[in-house]
Structure 1
Amino acid sequence: MHALKRLGTDALRGGQPKGKKVILAWDKAGIDFAFWHKVKQSSGLYFISREKENMKLIRCGERSFDRDDHRNAGVLSDENVGPGGGSGAMLRRITYVDPIEATTYVYLTTEMSLPPGLLVLIYKQRWDVEKVFDELKNKLVEKKAWGSSATAKSTQAQFLCLAHNLMVLLEETLLKAEGIDNRKEWKRKAVRKEKAEKEGTNFVATALQRFTVRTLKFIRWLRNFVYRTTSWEAALARLRHVYATF
């Protein structure tokens, strides 16, 4: 939270013009109700995060929302809540159940006008970013900083993003030029999407579907053949075998 405050409101707004609403999806470590209320009033900055298990918020009333709007499918409740203690910070608490995982999630936000399902979707997109970080840390084994200076950290971040984007481009090239794709993973994704649609055409569960991260078998194949004196044809044959077998 200290790092978040040090950035300042201009940096948090990301260069967006004055008068334009900015919504930040942050993890639980970024919850500070007094700060949220302050930047909402002064800078048009709105936060959304997950409720912590040990929070004891005061329920101030139920909010009405359109249950017939397909974007709100899966939303169980939309409430006004407050932290108490005279902070004056009114919050919105949205309870949502994921139809695929059968898991209930509770979100807190200072944004009071958008449909609750859209706010849930905004936070869901944050998980795509988290998955990329997980790919960099666990699949590419980038767990340590290259240096302590700001320049070193910035350079490392740019190279990691470059590596991720190059892998995305390589997968697209393999599909278009060689007809190679991870059909099993696509089928699994299609089954999950079909299940969600059958259980109520859940907007949040099915909207903006995409492969956020590369599979471990693709990364292992790439790592093995980058350092080998093997022909491109042999490498492609191995990838076809990997996708067909595993």
Structure 2
Amino acid sequence: MNAGQTVFRQLLQFLPRHEFNLCARRYRGEYRAKSFTAFDQFLCLAYAQLSGRESLRDIETCLNSHREKLYHIGFRGAVSRSTLADANERRDWRIFQDFGQVLIGMAQQLYRDEPLAIELKQPLFAFDSTTIDLCLTLFPWAEFRTTKAAVKMHTLIDLRGIIPTFVAVTTGKVHDVKMLDEMPVTEEAIYTMDRGYVDFARLYAIHRQGAFFVVRAKDNLRYQRLYSLPKDKEAGVRADQVIALVTQKSKKGYPERLRRVSYVDKERNKRLVFLTNHFEIGATTVADIYKQRWQVELFFKWIKQHLRIKAFYGTSINAVKSQIWVALCIYLLVAIAKRQLSIKCTLYTFLQILEVNLFEKKPISSLVAEALKQIPDTQDYNQLNLFGY
């Protein structure tokens, strides 16, 4: 089936090309493009992500060293750093954002039966952000502090498969809690967040949309205990209370009852207090839900370590957002291919094998099987475990 096709080409076959063309057409991606198409640009940036290229010159040199294979992969225009730089500056980044949403839908469908780490029938999401530091001189539009520039990547993760379902890239000055206004909410789903997202008016908006939240409370929370629920001290639950907020601003923002759970994490000997509008689950389940928030932190660490989103190929906001969204597309593409091919290794190992064999002409499944025979069973013990077995 894949005889004569490079690994890169086989991987790209999991992409819905028609959907990409629709995204390009939506934002006039081919306007005044004589030869270097939107898909050519995507392929260049995808190759850079998969192979770890550090600069435009690096991308140009490495791709042109495989010139005779590029047409069969899908390239239709000549690869040059000046053409790629112009495309990164001018071609609308929303092409890649919309295509990323298409891949998100595909990945969610493939991983819909993935078991959660806890017993829970409802969809579970984690919301957080990560800051990517930039040079203020090169990126003046991304001013963060007086002498520092940065962008933030606000991400909602579907914990059934660790799939990013919503991503917003903003300047570093945008406060995390404001992004709750943009976050999509699904009825009956549970959203877990850190205490930086405690804004009672915004949490009440989630409640009114029929969804649930589990958020860590701030230390200065003022409340009135209405009554207490039974607690299991052996499991670490110190208090399980139904409360009402008492300060004027808080009570106006969230006029209904809340549940307050005080929990001691015995592993770290740390006391944590959670707030939730879910009254049907156990107090230990509330704590377990919050623990799953750590998966979004692992996701951020994974993409920063294994994809190129800390050094950029252009300095404009368009170039930065294009590169971030292509990186997310590659993450999703590798996750989709891994599930479609039933690859039995971690996502990191799979990406490593692809990285050094992009232009090999072997079926991906056979290539991975051969590589895994040479890898000791303990090689992934200290790696971030996303999509692991």
TM-score normalized with structure 2 length = 0.39
Q: Distance in 1 between matches of 2:198 and 2:236?
A: 24
Q: Are positions 1:115 and 2:115 aligned together?
A: no
Partner of 1:240: 376
Partner of 1:226: 357
Asked if the contact 1:82/1:91 (under 8 Å) is kept, the reply is: yes
Partner of 2:265: 98
Partner of 2:235: 73
Distance change >3 Å, CA 224–CA 35, structure 1 → 2? closer
Aligned ranges for residues 115-154 of structure 1 at < 5 Å? 115-143=282-310, 148=318, 152=322, 154=325
Q: Distance in 2 between matches of 1:136 and 1:166?
A: 17
Q: Distance in 2 between matches of 1:115 and 1:241?
A: 37
Asked if the contact 1:92/1:109 (under 8 Å) is kept, the reply is: yes
Could you list the per-position Cα deviations for residues 199-220 of structure 1 after superposition, in whole angstroms to 9, with x for gaps in the alignment?
xxxxxxxxxxxxxx756xx479
Q: 1:55 aligns with which of 220, 237, 249?
A: 220
Distance change >3 Å, CA 167–CA 143, structure 1 → 2? farther
Identical positions, percent: 21
Asked if the contact 2:225/2:244 (under 8 Å) is kept, the reply is: yes
Q: Distance in 2 between matches of 1:116 and 1:101?
A: 18
Q: Are positions 1:84 and 2:246 aligned together?
A: yes
Q: 1:162 aligns with which of 313, 333, 336?
A: 333
Unaligned runs of 5+ in 1: 176-212
Q: Which has the higher contact order (CA 8 A, sep 6+)?
A: 2
Q: Classify the secondary structure of the residue corresponding to 2:225.
A: strand
Asked if the contact 1:37/1:110 (under 8 Å) is kept, the reply is: no
Asked if the contact 2:227/2:243 (under 8 Å) is kept, the reply is: no
Partner of 2:182: 6
Q: Classify the secondary structure of the residue corresponding to 2:292.
A: helix
Could you list the per-position Cα deviations for residues 157-182 of structure 1 after superposition, in whole angstroms to 9, with x for gaps in the alignment?
22222234556788x6456xxxxxxx
Distance change >3 Å, CA 214–CA 82, structure 1 → 2? farther
Structure (1/2) with the larger helix percentage: 1
Q: Classify the secondary structure of the residue corresponding to 2:275.
A: strand
Aligned residues: 192
Q: Distance in 2 between matches of 1:23 and 1:60?
A: 24
The Cα of 1:49 is off from its aligned counterpart by: 0.9
Asked if the contact 2:203/2:213 (under 8 Å) is kept, the reply is: yes
Asked if the contact 1:23/1:47 (under 8 Å) is kept, the reply is: yes
The Cα of 1:131 is off from its aligned counterpart by: 1.5
Unaligned runs of 5+ in 2: 1-176, 383-389
Distance change >3 Å, CA 83–CA 145, structure 1 → 2? farther
Q: Classify the secondary structure of the residue corresponding to 2:185.
A: helix
Q: Classify the secondary structure of the residue corresponding to 1:2.
A: helix
Distance change >3 Å, CA 44–CA 244, structure 1 → 2? closer
Asked if the contact 2:263/2:273 (under 8 Å) is kept, the reply is: yes
The Cα of 1:36 is off from its aligned counterpart by: 1.9
TM-score normalized with structure 1 length = 0.57
Q: Distance in 2 between matches of 1:130 and 1:79?
A: 29
Q: Which amino acid aligns with 1:93?
A: R
Partner of 1:64: 229
Distance change >3 Å, CA 154–CA 97, structure 1 → 2? same
Q: Classify the secondary structure of the residue corresponding to 2:376.
A: helix
